[in-house]
Amino acid sequence: MNRKWLLIIGVLVVLVGVGVWSSKDTLATARVGTVYVAKQTCSCLFVAGRPLDSCYTDFDAEAVRPLDVSVSKNGVTVSALGGVISARAQYEQGFGCHPVN
């Protein structure tokens, strides 16, 4: 009986380790993606003066679908993975848009 539990625990440890190891690239990609979409959407809205629906056409629809985009008075916030990762780009007169995080 002890041997069975050790085997089960060993398998679980290996599975958790593989999951953590493989998710590190996903988190890094999500971070870069949210910053990119926030900056580009901010520039589209505040520099180019285009409507938000028009800005969405600049990106692949499948890539942007899991992102949550919110627009404020002078910036854009984009979050991914249920808000675990987020990025903000802010517009400044004379300077354009830049990431804030």
Secondary structure of the chain as H, E, C letters: CHHHHHHHHHHHHHHHHHHHHHHHHHHHHHHHHHHHHHHHHHHHHHHCCCCHHHHHCCCCHHHHCCCEEEECCCEEEEEEHHHCEEEEEEEECCCEEEECC
Instruction: Determine, yes or no, domain membership for 23.
Output: no
- Range of the structural domain that residue 84 is part of: 38-101
Residue 65 forms part of a structural domain? yes
Is the residue at 56 inside a domain? yes
pLDDT, residue 95, reads 94
Residue 29 is assigned to a structural domain of this protein: no
In a domain, 15, yes or no: no
Q: What is the pTM of this model?
A: 0.76
Residue 21 lies in a domain: no
24-73, pLDDT tens digit by residue? 777 888 899 999 999 999 999 999 999 999 999 999 988 888 899 999 99
Say yes or no to pLDDT of 1 above 70.
no
Q: How many domains does the chain have?
A: 1
